[in-house]
C-alpha cells in the first residue's frame, strides 16, 4: 500500500513539473514576443488571372502544388479572371497584389490611373486572334463590317479593338459586339449567335478540330500588330512595400514556367486537380502553342519572361496612337525586369517547328 502511494505521489510531482515547465516556456515566449501558437502559412497573396484557368496558367498551379510559394512565405490564392481589363483594374486598385493581363490592356488601365507594373512576359508574342467560319460570309478582315463579334466585355481584344480596326483599315464602329462568356465562344460561333469570336492562339487546335476547313482566322501580328501579350503584373505600391516578396514570386513563376516547358505533364496534373471541365489532350495541344508564344530573341537570351524596353516603347505608342492615353506617363514606370533571374531562360529547343 505504501509503495503504491509513493508511486502515485511521484507521478503527481512529475506532472506538476511538466506543467510548470510548459507555463515557464509560455511566459518566456510571451515576454520575448514569440508566438505561442504556430505561425500562419505566410503572407496572404492574391493572383487574379486574366481568364478561366487553362494550360498557360498551369505553372502557377504547379508551383503552388509543389509548395514553392509556401516555402517562400507566400500563402497564394489564385482567382479566376474575367478578362485582362478586369485583372488590370483590380491589380491597379490594390484589390489584388498580382495578376495576369494583356500588356496593351494594362497600359490603357495605367493611363486611367491604375497602379500597375509588369514583371514578366508570358506571351512574348501576341496571342490575340480572331476566328470565323467562311460559311458565314467572312473570308478575311475586310469582311468584318456588319458582322457580330462575340467576347466578354473586359476581353483584351475588345478593349484594343480600335487599334486592330485602324490597322486593318476598317471603321471601329463597323462591327457590333455581343457579350458571351469566356467558355461559350465556340458554342456561340457554332450556333451562329455571333459571326466572329476573339480568342488566344493557344486555343487554336480546339477550333480546328471543331470546324475543320470552314475555319478562318487572323492573328494580330499578321496585320502588323504584335504587342506583348499576357504578362505577370503587380500593384505598384505593393511592389514598393514588398520588393523581396515580389522577387520571390517572380522567380518562382520563372522556375515553374521553365519546368513546365521541360515537362508539362505534372503541370497539367496540378491544373486539372484544381480546375474541372478540361480535356487533357486539348490542354497538351494548347501548351505546344503557348511555348511558341513564349519564345523570342529576348526570352531565349536575357531571361524567360524578359520584357524589352524598345518593344514596350512601341507598345506604348501603339496604345497612344490608336486609343489615346487618358493621362500620358513614362512607359519605363510600367515595367521592370529587375526581379527576373537571368539564369532562367526559355528553351527554344522545346518548341515544335
CATH code: domain of residue 177: 3.40.190.10
Q: Cell for 348?
A: 527554344
Mean pLDDT of 145-151: 98
pTM: 0.78
Neighbour tally for 281: CB within 10 Å: 10
Q: Which residues neighbour 352 within 8 Å (Cβ) at sequence distance 6 or greater?
A: 288, 291, 292
Q: Which residues neighbour 19 within 8 Å (Cβ) at sequence distance 6 or greater?
A: none
Q: In this predicted model, which residue has the larger pLDDT, 23 or 84?
A: 84
Strand partners of residue 200:
128
- Are both 254 and 339 inside the same structural domain? yes
- Final residue belonging to a domain, choices 176, 203, 223: 223
In a domain, 192, yes or no: yes
- Are both 148 and 282 inside the same structural domain? no
In a domain, 351, yes or no: no
Say what the pLDDT of residue 183 is. 87
Asked if residue 249 has pLDDT above 80, the reply is yes
Lowest-confidence pick of 34-43, 283-292, 325-334: 34-43
Say what the pLDDT of residue 31 is. 39
- Are both 167 and 114 inside the same structural domain? no
Closest CA to 307 of 227, 251, 241: 227
Say what the pLDDT of residue 51 is. 87
In a domain, 14, yes or no: no
Say what the pLDDT of residue 14 is. 54
Closest CA to 80 of 46, 45, 52: 52
Say what the pLDDT of residue 3 is. 46
Closest CA to 295 of 121, 97, 54: 121
Mean pLDDT of 299-314: 98
In a domain, 22, yes or no: no
In a domain, 21, yes or no: no
Please tell me the distance from the alpha carbon of residue 49 to that of residue 342, in angstroms, as a whole number: 25
For the chain, what is the domain count? 2
- Are both 103 and 149 inside the same structural domain? no
- Final residue belonging to a domain, choices 200, 223, 246: 223
- Are both 201 and 340 inside the same structural domain? no
In a domain, 114, yes or no: yes
- Are both 235 and 209 inside the same structural domain? no
Q: List pLDDT tens digits, range 78-125.
A: 999 998 999 999 999 999 999 999 998 999 999 999 999 999 999 999
- Are both 208 and 145 inside the same structural domain? yes
Say what the pLDDT of residue 353 is. 66
Asked if residue 61 has pLDDT above 60, the reply is yes
Q: List pLDDT tens digits, range 185-235.
A: 999 999 999 999 999 898 899 899 999 999 999 999 899 898 999 999 999
- Are both 323 and 274 inside the same structural domain? yes
Asked if residue 240 has pLDDT above 60, the reply is yes
Asked if residue 345 has pLDDT above 70, the reply is yes
Residue 152 · residue 180 · CB < 8 Å: yes
Q: In this predicted model, which residue has the larger pLDDT, 318 or 299?
A: 299
In a domain, 65, yes or no: yes
Q: In this predicted model, which residue has the larger pLDDT, 11 or 118?
A: 118
- Are both 104 and 52 inside the same structural domain? yes
Please tell me the distance from the alpha carbon of residue 17 to that of residue 69, in angstroms, as a whole number: 41
Nearest 5°: phi and psi at 255?
-60, -40
SS3 64: helix
Residue 119 · residue 336 · CB < 8 Å: yes
Please tell me the distance from the alpha carbon of residue 281 to that of residue 116, in angstroms, as a whole number: 35
Q: In this predicted model, which residue has the larger pLDDT, 219 or 36?
A: 219
**Which structural domain range is residue 176 located in?**
128-223
- Are both 276 and 209 inside the same structural domain? no
Closest CA to 98 of 249, 252, 305: 249
Mean pLDDT taken over the chain:
90
- Final residue belonging to a domain, choices 179, 204, 223: 223
DSSP conformational letter for 197: E
Length of the chain as a residue count? 353
Say what the pLDDT of residue 13 is. 53
In a domain, 307, yes or no: yes
- Are both 231 and 332 inside the same structural domain? yes
Split at pLDDT 50, 70, 90, the class of 160 is confident
- Are both 159 and 302 inside the same structural domain? no
Number of H helices, E strands in the chain: 14, 10
Amino acid at each position: 500500500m505504501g509503495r503504491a502511494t509513493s508511486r502515485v505521489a511521484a507521478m503527481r510531482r512529475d506532472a506538476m513539473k511538466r506543467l510548470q515547465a510548459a507555463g515557464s516556456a509560455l511566459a518566456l515566449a510571451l515576454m520575448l514576443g514569440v508566438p505561442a501558437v504556430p505561425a500562419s502559412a505566410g503572407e496572404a497573396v492574391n493572383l487574379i488571372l486574366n481568364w478561366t484557368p487553362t494550360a498557360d496558367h498551369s505553372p502557377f498551379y504547379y508551383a503552388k502544388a509543389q509548395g514553392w510559394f509556401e516555402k517562400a512565405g507566400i500563402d497564394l490564392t489564385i482567382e479566376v479572371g474575367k478578362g485582362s481589363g478586369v485583372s488590370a483594374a483590380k491589380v491597379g486598385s490594390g484589390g489584388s497584389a498580382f495578376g495576369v493581363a494583356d500588356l496593351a490592356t494594362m497600359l490603357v488601365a495605367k493611363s486611367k490611373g491604375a497602379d500597375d507594373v509588369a514583371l514578366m512576359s508570358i506571351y512574348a508574342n501576341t496571342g490575340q486572334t480572331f476566328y470565323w467560319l467562311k460559311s458565314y460570309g467572312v473570308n478575311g478582315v475586310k469582311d468584318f463590317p456588319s458582322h457580330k463579334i462575340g467576347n466578354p466585355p473586359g476581353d483584351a481584344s475588345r478593349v484594343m479593338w480600335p487599334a486592330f480596326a485602324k490597322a486593318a483599315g476598317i471603321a471601329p464602329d463597323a462591327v457590333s459586339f455581343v457579350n458571351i462568356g469566356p467558355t461559350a465562344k465556340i458554342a456561340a460561333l457554332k450556333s451562329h449567335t455571333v459571326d466572329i469570336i476573339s480568342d488566344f492562339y493557344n486555343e487554336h487546335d480546339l477550333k480546328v478540330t471543331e470546324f475543320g476547313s470552314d475555319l478562318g482566322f487572323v492573328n494580330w501580328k499578321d496585320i502588323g500588330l504584335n504587342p506583348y501579350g499576357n504578362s505577370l503584373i503587380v500593384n505598384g505600391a505593393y511592389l514598393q512595400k514588398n520588393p523581396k516578396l515580389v522577387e520571390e514570386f517572380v522567380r518562382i513563376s520563372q522556375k515553374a514556367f521553365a519546368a513546365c516547358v521541360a515537362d508539362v505533364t505534372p503541370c497539367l496534373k496540378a491544373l486539372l486537380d484544381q480546375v474541372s471541365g478540361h480535356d487533357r489532350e486539348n490542354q497538351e495541344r494548347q501548351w505546344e502553342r503557348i511555348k511558341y508564344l513564349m519564345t523570342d530573341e529576348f526570352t531565349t537570351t536575357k531571361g524567360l519572361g524578359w520584357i524589352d524596353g524598345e518593344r514596350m516603347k512601341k507598345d506604348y505608342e501603339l496604345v497612344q496612337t490608336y486609343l489615346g492615353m487618358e493621362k500620358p506617363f513614362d512607359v519605363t514606370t510600367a515595367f521592370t525586369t529587375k526581379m527576373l533571374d537571368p539564369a532562367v531562360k526559355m528553351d527554344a529547343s522545346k518548341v515544335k517547328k
